[in-house]
């Protein structure tokens, strides 16, 4: 049996998998490995987010699409997540005059879902914990690991250290992966990282008279060529608006009045919806966040370690596929495990072979959509209206 080893006692011991990172992809991956019967340990830097008052993440909500849903289905939690998602059937383009025009995502009935990141992460962690062969370790930050021995060193917030080994290390520790550090020392490992000139800032649009301030079943977009704002609905009837703009432009705005002046010029329809005072306050609540695109290959070292999710491929968020691609990584890896009867020395290279080109394609598409969403969507919308007018 390939996933088991004969221990010195003669007892059949299951192989141990260490998943580094208990974010979206790490928590899901723990379920995949647990389902196969491996002994799974997750090591996560943060405290348990299910107990925390404030959950820091890379965005408040995100768009879940087919790829991601397939992976959730595999571990039996698709419905749990979908039932708490809000379908978005189309992009709703807001012109400068406040005119709104929908552009469907696909055929009638097709949609993507707006889901709450914190809730999704919590559900995934709880699901992972339902497997008796899974252990979650919070407040464990991977400091380094040894390619030769597989020994991992974790640091805890009180400064103490813990060391452990595993048969397989799965790096799901995000765009700034500590697991990936050892890959950079390997010969013929390719790596590139690009920061785009834009940053992002999230602003909340509260409900008005207990109802959504805008139509909920859309991904709202205000494309303004060199920058844009988008808004996704939340279950509590708020919208999370995300302003994407070059850092230079963010920095030019230093007073509350300048914020309003800027919104008056570019997003006038949102001022009464977000509120003047809220805008003046929230714009300065947190600095704009950077966005990085990371490409690397291969995704594995021998039969010891493999990278998945943002640790393998951080993409810019404009295609709404970062998490979805990360979830698909888990699915693809799982299929290869079947194909090669869980022989890790064959599975890992095959995973890199089939997955690298697809993830690089997603990264390129995301970079392309960076321009599509803020600029082309304007001209395309114009052509689309013309086409409709001529029907």
Which sign does the torsion angle of CA 61, 63, 66, 67 carry? negative
The reply to whether 25 sits near ligand FAD by the rule CB under 6 A is: yes
The minimum distance between CB 106 and ligand FAD, in angstroms, equals 16
* Near ligand FAD by CB under 6 A: residue from 26, 85, 216, 298: 26
Residue among 299, 293, 288 at smallest CA distance from 368: 293
What residues are paired with 49 via a beta bridge? none
The reply to whether 238 sits near ligand FAD by the rule CB under 6 A is: no
CB of 115 or CB of 279, closer to ligand FAD: 115
Which parts of 54-113 interact with ligand FAD (CB under 6 A)?
58-59, 62-63
The reply to whether 328 sits near ligand FAD by the rule CB under 6 A is: no
Gyration radius of the chain over CA positions: 22
Whether 258 and 250 have beta carbons less than 8 Å apart is answered as no
Interatomic CA distance for residues 48 and 27, integer angstroms = 12
The reply to whether 322 sits near ligand FAD by the rule CB under 6 A is: yes
Which parts of 150-179 interact with ligand FAD (CB under 6 A)?
172-174, 178
The minimum distance between CB 57 and ligand FAD, in angstroms, equals 7
Which residue spans within 118-270 are E strands per DSSP? 134-137, 141-145, 152-155, 161-164, 168-171, 190-205, 218-223, 228-233, 239-246
The reply to whether 46 sits near ligand FAD by the rule CB under 6 A is: yes
The reply to whether 243 sits near ligand FAD by the rule CB under 6 A is: no
The reply to whether 20 sits near ligand FAD by the rule CB under 6 A is: yes
Let me know the angle formed at the C-alpha of 171 by 138 and 20, rounded to the nearest 5 degrees.
10
How many of the chain's residues bind ligand FAD (CB under 6 A)? 33
Residue 322 tokens read as 């970062």
Interatomic CA distance for residues 95 and 224, integer angstroms = 9
With contacts defined by CB under 6 A, name the span among 23-31, 261-269, 343-351, 369-377 that binds ligand FAD: 23-31
The minimum distance between CB 58 and ligand FAD, in angstroms, equals 4
Residue 270 tokens read as 């949102």
The reply to whether 230 sits near ligand FAD by the rule CB under 6 A is: no
Q: Given the rule CB under 6 A, which residues bind ligand FAD?
A: 20-26, 43-46, 58-59, 62-63, 141-142, 172-174, 178, 200, 242, 309-311, 317, 320-324, 326
């Amino acid at each position: 049996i390939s996933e088991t080893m004969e221990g010195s006692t003669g007892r059949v011991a299951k192989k141990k998998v260490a998943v580094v990172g208990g974010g979206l992809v790490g928590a899901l991956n723990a379920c995949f490995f647990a389902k196969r019967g491996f002994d799974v340990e997750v090591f996560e830097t943060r405290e348990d987010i299910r107990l925390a008052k404030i959950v820091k993440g890379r965005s408040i909500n995100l768009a879940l699409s087919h790829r991601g849903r397939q992976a959730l289905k595999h571990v039996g939690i698709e419905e749990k997540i979908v039932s708490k998602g809000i379908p978005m059937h189309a992009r709703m383009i807001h012109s400068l005059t406040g005119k709104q025009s929908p552009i469907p995502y696909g055929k009638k009935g097709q949609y993507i879902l707006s889901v709450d990141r914190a809730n999704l992460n919590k559900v995934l962690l709880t699901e992972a914990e339902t497997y008796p062969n899974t252990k979650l370790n919070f407040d464990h930050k991977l400091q380094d690991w040894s390619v030769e021995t597989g020994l991992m060193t974790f640091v805890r917030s009180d400064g103490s250290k813990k060391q452990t080994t595993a048969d397989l290390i799965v790096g799901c520790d995000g765009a700034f992966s500590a697991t990936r550090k050892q890959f950079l020392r390997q010969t013929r490992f390719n790596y590139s990282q690009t920061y785009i000139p834009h940053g992002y800032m999230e602003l909340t649009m509260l409900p008005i008279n207990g109802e959504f301030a805008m139509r909920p079943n859309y991904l709202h977009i205000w494309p303004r060529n060199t920058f844009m704002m988008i808004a996704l609905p939340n279950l509590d009837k708020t919208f999370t608006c995300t302003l994407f703009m070059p850092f230079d432009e963010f920095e030019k705005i230093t007073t509350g009045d300048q914020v309003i002046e800027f919104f008056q010029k570019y997003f006038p329809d949102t001022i009464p919806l977000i509120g003047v005072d809220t805008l003046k306050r929230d714009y300065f609540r947190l600095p704009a966040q950077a966005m990085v695109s990371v490409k690397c290959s291969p995704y594995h070292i021998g039969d010891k370690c493999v990278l998945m999710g943002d640790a393998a491929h951080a993409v810019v968020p404009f295609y709404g596929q970062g998490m979805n691609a990360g979830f698909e990584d888990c699915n693809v890896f799982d299929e290869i495990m079947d194909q090669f009867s869980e022989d890790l020395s064959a599975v890992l290279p095959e995973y890199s072979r089939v997955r690298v080109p697809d993830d690089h394609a997603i990264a390129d598409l995301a970079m392309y959509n960076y321009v599509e969403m803020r600029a082309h969507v304007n001209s395309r919308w114009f052509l689309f209206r013309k086409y409709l007018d001529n029907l």
